[in-house]
Amino acid sequence: MGKITGFLEYTRQEAQDRDPAERVRDWEPFHHPLPERTRRQQGGRCMNCGVPYCQSGMMWEGHTFGCPLHNLIPEWNDMIWAGNPLHALSRLLKTNNFPEFTGRVCPAPCEDACICGLYGDAVTIRDNELSIIEAAFCAGAMKRRRPPQWSGKKVAVVGSGPAGLAAADQLNHRGHSVTIIEREEHPGGLLTYGIPNMKLPKSVVQRRVDRMCDEGISFVTGVDAADPAVARRLLAEYDAVILCCGAERPRPLNLNSDGISGVLYGTAFLKAAVERQQFGKEPSAPTAEGRDVVVIGTGDTASDCVATALRQGCRSVVQLVRRPQEDYLKDGVLPLDYAHEEALAVTGRDPRQFGVQVRELTAENGALTAVTTSQGNTLPCSLLIAATGFAGCSAGVCEAFGVAYGDTVQTAEGRHATNVEKVFAAGDMRRGQSLVVWAIAEGRTAAAEVDEYLGGYTNLVRTE
């Protein structure tokens, strides 16, 4: 423990955000990093608890507490305080393949479990993590890691989201030849197509993809493994296949929207926004420009839809939340995330309405014009975005490979092997809708199981 009284001497300081009224006009990241001296103080706030719950990674009553990757948080916080960035990096990379992702988009359940937060403010664990990896990239400390020899075994990973990337990275470092199959034009899955650029710049995703390519992993994009011919070829040519296709089947909206334009799911809206803004495409999904937007749901996807609609120049935006406001209060205060701050700056009010649902749609000549809520109010609406979560994995890939599935791919308790020989599953496809950090944990554990399957033993650690 570097600073024994650090948690008493220093107050919590988070990375500073750009002004909401300014940042809403562009797609650039909105966090300003802290100066090095201040960041070291934040590392010095770590109490080095006898039992560090921050790295416990457990589920309790449906919520995650502590880091699912079991990050060695007190150790690298100590190294931040000591001014030893290389040692901090080595401890961080021991458990987390992609801290540049989790340091940006993870909701930080580690901080919810921080003992320092019981009677004060938790340590800025997520910001500390991001500072370590970004400093390493800037200093050229991220060196290429190729295995000393290859095993001769070939593994195909279907899906290039966080679970697929983590599994591929682990297996590649064990010396197996790994090919990642991706349906979309660009790799990254949810990281590329489901998270707006201001939260996770696509250059950060591409930087990691480039590094993985340099270390020997192959990426094949534009190939859909739901095609039975593709599935048969992968089964014939590879020694193991890991399915990491996510939980992409959206939860039904339960509204009659047949023949009405202007109704879509949050993931489709965000994907179209990324394709327009980042890749210069013109997708069929509509933009929010000049429209009255209503977003259904809460959580990160709903917030990202609100923030994206504001940046596209919507006329108005309202977010409908099914549960009452009391369910979201913390110490009697309703928290604002980045999208709500931006809506306040642009429209002068919080976009959220609590305890309300959409009951009916109104359309003219097939175009959505308004929605009627469960409270009997009519809201102008020409674009309705359902960010209501996911019901499970898509059937196409499961059926192409012949694996048993329901809402998720069926595997034995605590295992990743499916009912089909040499086919494994990981991430949201096996676990159900979850966090990026859980997806990485899933990928790491699946890699350990596949490594043992291929070689009879493994020295990879199972995260779960």
Give the Cα separation of 319 and 310 in Å (integer): 12
The string of pLDDT tens digits covering residues 387-408 is 998 888 989 999 999 999 999 9
User: How sure is the predictor about 72, in pLDDT bands with cuts at 50, 70 and 90?
Assistant: very high
**Among 330, 364, 388, residue at a domain's last position:** 388
State if pTM tops 0.85: yes
Q: Which long-range contacts (CB under 8 A, 24 or more apart) does 29-37 make?
A: 29/197, 29/198, 29/199, 29/201, 30/198, 30/338, 33/131, 33/134, 34/127, 34/131
440 and 376, same structural domain? no
Distances (CA, A) of 393 to 243, 397, 401, 412, 430: 11, 9, 14, 17, 8
User: How sure is the predictor about 375, in pLDDT bands with cuts at 50, 70 and 90?
Assistant: very high
124 and 13, same structural domain? yes
Task: Please state which of the ranges 42-51, 348-357, 420-429 shows the lowest mean pLDDT.
Answer: 42-51
401 and 368, same structural domain? no
Residue 255 within any structural domain of the chain: no
- pLDDT at residue 65, rounded to an integer: 85
- pLDDT at residue 64, rounded to an integer: 80
- pLDDT at residue 377, rounded to an integer: 92
**Among 81, 111, 139, residue at a domain's last position:** 139
Q: What size, in residues, is the chain?
A: 464
The string of pLDDT tens digits covering residues 131-168 is 999 999 999 999 999 998 999 999 999 999 999 999 99
318 and 375, same structural domain? yes
The string of pLDDT tens digits covering residues 404-450 is 999 999 999 999 999 999 999 999 999 999 999 999 999 999 999 99
Residue 17 within any structural domain of the chain: yes
More confident residue, 236 or 251: 236
Residue 133 within any structural domain of the chain: yes
Query: If you ran DSSP here, which 8-state letter would residue 283 be given?
Result: -
267 and 384, same structural domain? yes
Residue 412 within any structural domain of the chain: yes
- pLDDT at residue 1, rounded to an integer: 61
244 and 195, same structural domain? yes
Please choose, from the candidates 245, 296, 247, the residue with its C-alpha nearest in 3D space to the C-alpha of residue 269.
296
CB 125 within 8 A of CB 77: yes
pLDDT reading at 262 higher than 90: yes
Number of domains in the chain: 3
Residue 464 within any structural domain of the chain: no
223 and 297, same structural domain? no
- pLDDT at residue 2, rounded to an integer: 65
Domain limits for position 321:
263-388
171 and 102, same structural domain? no
Please choose, from the candidates 373, 463, 415, 386, the residue with its C-alpha nearest in 3D space to the C-alpha of residue 94.
463
State the sign of the Cα–Cα–Cα–Cα dihedral 27, 434, 191, 134.
positive
Alpha helix stretches (DSSP H) within 95-223: 99-105, 109-112, 125-139, 162-173, 190-193, 202-214
**Among 388, 410, 426, residue at a domain's last position:** 388
The string of pLDDT tens digits covering residues 305-343 is 999 999 999 999 999 999 999 999 988 899 999 999 999
339 and 444, same structural domain? no
Helix (H, G, I), strand (E, B) or coil at 409: strand
424 and 410, same structural domain? yes
The string of pLDDT tens digits covering residues 5-45 is 999 999 999 988 999 999 999 999 999 999 999 999 999 99
The CATH number of whichever domain residue 102 belongs to comes to 1.10.1060.10
284 and 231, same structural domain? no
Cβ burial 396-419 (10 Å sphere, 16+ → b, else e): bbbebbebebeebbebeeeebbbe
pLDDT reading at 63 higher than 80: no
Share of the chain above pLDDT 90, in %: 88
- How far does the chain reach from its first CA to its final CA, in angstroms? 27
Distances (CA, A) of 46 to 9, 14, 92, 123: 11, 14, 15, 6
Cα dihedral 324/328/329/333 (nearest 10): -100
Give the Cα separation of 306 and 316 in Å (integer): 10
Give the Cα separation of 371 and 175 in Å (integer): 56
Residue 233 within any structural domain of the chain: yes
Task: Please state which of the ranges 125-129, 221-225, 459-463 shows the lowest mean pLDDT.
Answer: 459-463
pLDDT reading at 119 higher than 90: no
Helix (H, G, I), strand (E, B) or coil at 378: strand
Please choose, from the candidates 99, 156, 106, the residue with its C-alpha nearest in 3D space to the C-alpha of residue 130.
99
The CATH number of whichever domain residue 406 belongs to comes to 3.50.50.60
Q: What is the average pLDDT score of the chain?
A: 95
Residue 462 within any structural domain of the chain: no
Residue 218 within any structural domain of the chain: yes
The string of pLDDT tens digits covering residues 184-211 is 999 999 999 999 999 999 999 999 999 9
Q: Number of H helices and number of E strands within the chain?
A: 18, 19
Residue 33 CB partners (closer than 8 Å, separation 6+): 15, 39, 131, 134
327 and 418, same structural domain? no
CB-neighbour burial class of residue 25 (10 A; exposed 0-12, middle 13-18, buried 19+):
exposed
